[in-house]
């Protein structure tokens, strides 16, 4: 006898597993924690099995839960793909494209691409969302988001197309003695507190590795992915930060100065990722073609 599954409840359950808890899943799904909990309980009742074993403040998958989770990923992906294809074939939609961007100023790098894409494909309805990196990755795997801008290297299970190759520069107050040079020796930063990006941004690891190679364990003063705040903190001497070259050029060097590291390049490579084997709409494929690096003349 077949089993009828409510896909909405299944999506909530899958997200609870992916995010590691009900509260995190609720944030990703823009729902209340009670709504998520109720949906999972209803799914358990619907299937007649226990999916999650509650252990105090945490939950773990049962054997049945593991089966439903693994099969559920495929069901949700197939459902989303079928809906998109039918909408396109039937002409019910002229095209929709939702692009996720991390909260590290990457959306501003693609302002020109967004404008030119809209001019080239005026019938495509575009939505831009900005989230932390881990949320974007979770939404890609859950099939909630079709495509997102991410940094290299991306998580296993994702396809990646490079779009922008850049490098990180050292950001210092304009009045700092080191700001007068052409480049900065990382050893000169030994006693300065460090401002990093939020958790999940791969550039953090590159920065810390560069310090480690110099035998330095920096004191992390703060983390932020709000670029304006990062520039403000740096200008006030709160710590040394690292920013992409392309996001510095548009800011006048009145309060801060950005310089390369001496004999050390920190790459900042951004591209677009999607779930390996996942469905890509015509609009998403057009976006990838539109933002693909062009060969040099």
Whole-Å CA distances, 134 to 29, 131, 154, 166:
14, 8, 11, 22
pLDDT at 127: 87
In this structure, of 42-46, 164-168, 277-281, the range with the lowest mean pLDDT score is: 277-281
- The string of pLDDT tens digits covering residues 119-154 is 888 878 888 888 888 889 988 988 888 999 998 888
Give the number of other CB atoms < 10 A from CB of residue 152.
Answer: 14
| Res. 107: pLDDT tops 70 | no
Q: Could you give the CA distance from residue 216 to residue 190 in angstroms, rounded to a whole number?
A: 6
188 and 231 share a domain? yes
Q: Are 127 and 281 in contact (CB under 8 A)?
A: no
Answer yes or no: is pLDDT of 89 > 60.
no
Indicate the pLDDT class of residue 195, thresholds 50, 70 and 90. very high
Let me know whether 239 and 273 are in one domain: no
296 assigned to some structural domain: no
297 domain residue, yes or no: no
Query: To 10 degrees, the CA torsion angle through 52, 58, 60, 65?
Result: 30
Q: Output the domain CATH number for residue 203.
A: 3.40.190.10
- Asked if residue 2 is part of any domain, the answer here is no
Whether residue 274 sits in one domain with residue 261:
no
Tokens for 145, please give them: 């988001």
Are 20 and 57 contained in the same domain? yes
Q: Which two tokens stand for residue 270?
A: 């951004």
Asked whether residue 228 falls in the same domain as residue 97, the answer is: no
The verdict on residue 50 lying in a domain is: yes
- C-beta neighbour count of 104 within 10 angstroms: 27
Q: Are residues 254 and 176 in the same domain?
A: yes
Is residue 67 located within the same domain as residue 104? no
Within-domain flag for 1? no
Domain boundary at 73, 89, 105, which?
89
For the chain, the domain total comes to 3
Q: Is residue 22 part of a domain?
A: yes
Q: What is the CATH number of the domain that holds 54?
A: 1.10.10.10
Domain range spanning residue 63? 7-89
Q: Are 129 and 275 in a shared domain?
A: yes
Question: pLDDT category, 192, cuts 50, 70, 90?
Answer: very high
Are 122 and 96 spatial neighbours (Cβ–Cβ below 8 Å)?
A: no
User: Both 69 and 202 in a single domain?
Assistant: no
Q: Is 190 inside any structural domain? A: yes
Contacts of 157 (CB under 8 A, 6+ apart): 141, 275, 276
- Residue 35 is predicted with a pLDDT of 87
Cβ 195 vs Cβ 241: under 8 Å? yes
C-alpha span between 9 and 68 (Å, rounded): 12
Does residue 145 lie within any of the structural domains?
yes
User: Which has the closest alpha carbon to 258: 246, 243, 270?
Assistant: 243
Position 3 scores a pLDDT of 64
Count CB neighbours of 274 within 10 A. Answer: 22
The whole-number pLDDT of residue 91 equals 43
What's the token pair of residue 26?
A: 């609720």
Query: What is the rounded average pLDDT of the residues 100-124?
Result: 82
pLDDT at 76: 78
Among 52, 73, 89, give the residue marking a domain's end. Answer: 89
Spatial separation of the C-alpha atoms in residues 254 and 29, rounded to whole Å: 42
Q: Are residues 54 and 192 located together in one domain of the fold?
A: no
Query: Tens digits of per-residue pLDDT, 223-277?
Result: 988 888 888 888 888 999 998 888 887 665 678 899 999 988 899 889 999 998 8
Shared-domain flag, residues 11 and 68: yes
Mapping DSSP onto H, E and C, the string for the chain reads CCCCCCHHHHHHHHHHHHHCCHHHHHHHCCCCHHHHHHHHHHHHHHHCCCCEEEECCEEEECHHHHHHHHHHHHHHHHHHHHHHHHHHHHCCCCCEEEEEEECCCHHHHCHHHHHHHHHHCCCCEEEEEEECHHHHHHHHHHCCCCEEEEECCCCCCEEEEEEEEEEEEEEEECCCHHHHCCCECHHHHCCCCEEECCCCCCHHHHHHHHHHHCCCCCCEEEECCCHHHHHHHHHCCCCEEEEEHHHCCCCCCCCEEEECECCCCCEEEEEEEEECCCCCCHHHHHHHHHHCCCCCC
| Mean pLDDT for the chain overall | 84
With CA atoms as reference, report the closest residue to 143 among 43, 47, 277, 21: 277
pLDDT of residue 60: 85
Domain endpoint, select from 55, 89, 123: 89
127 and 168 assigned to the same domain = no
What pTM was estimated for this model as a whole?
0.65
């Amino acid at each position: 006898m077949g089993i009828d599954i409510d896909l909405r409840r299944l999506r909530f359950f899958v997200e609870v597993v992916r995010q590691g808890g009900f509260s995190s899943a609720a944030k990703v799904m823009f729902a209340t924690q009670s709504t998520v909990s109720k949906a999972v309980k209803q799914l358990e009742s619907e299937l007649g099995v226990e999916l999650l074993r509650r252990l105090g403040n945490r939950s773990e998958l049962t054997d049945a839960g593991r089966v439903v989770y693994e099969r559920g990923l495929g069901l949700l992906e197939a459902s989303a793909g079928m809906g998109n294809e039918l909408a396109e074939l039937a002409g019910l939609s002229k095209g929709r494209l939702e692009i996720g961007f991390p909260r590290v100023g990457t959306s501003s790098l693609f302002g020109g691409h967004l404008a030119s894409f809209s001019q080239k494909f005026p019938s495509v309805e575009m939505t831009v969302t900005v989230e932390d990196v881990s949320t974007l990755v979770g939404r890609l795997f859950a099939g909630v988001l079709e495509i997102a801008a991410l940094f290299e290297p991306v998580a296993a299970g994702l396809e990646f197309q490079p779009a922008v190759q850049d490098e990180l520069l050292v950001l210092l107050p304009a009045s700092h003695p080191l700001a007068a040079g052409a480049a900065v020796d990382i050893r000169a930063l030994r006693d300065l507190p460090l401002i990093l990006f939020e958790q999940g941004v791969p550039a953090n690891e590159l920065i810390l590795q560069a310090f480690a190679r110099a035998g330095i364990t920096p004191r992390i003063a703060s983390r932020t992915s709000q670029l304006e705040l990062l520039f403000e903190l740096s200008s006030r001497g709160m710590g040394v930060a690292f920013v992409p070259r392309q996001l510095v050029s548009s800011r006048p060097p009145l309060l801060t100065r950005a310089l390369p590291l001496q004999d050390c390049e920190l790459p900042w490579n951004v591209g677009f990722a999607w779930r390996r084997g996942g469905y890509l709409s015509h609009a998403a494929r057009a976006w990838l073609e539109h933002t693909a690096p062009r060969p040099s003349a």
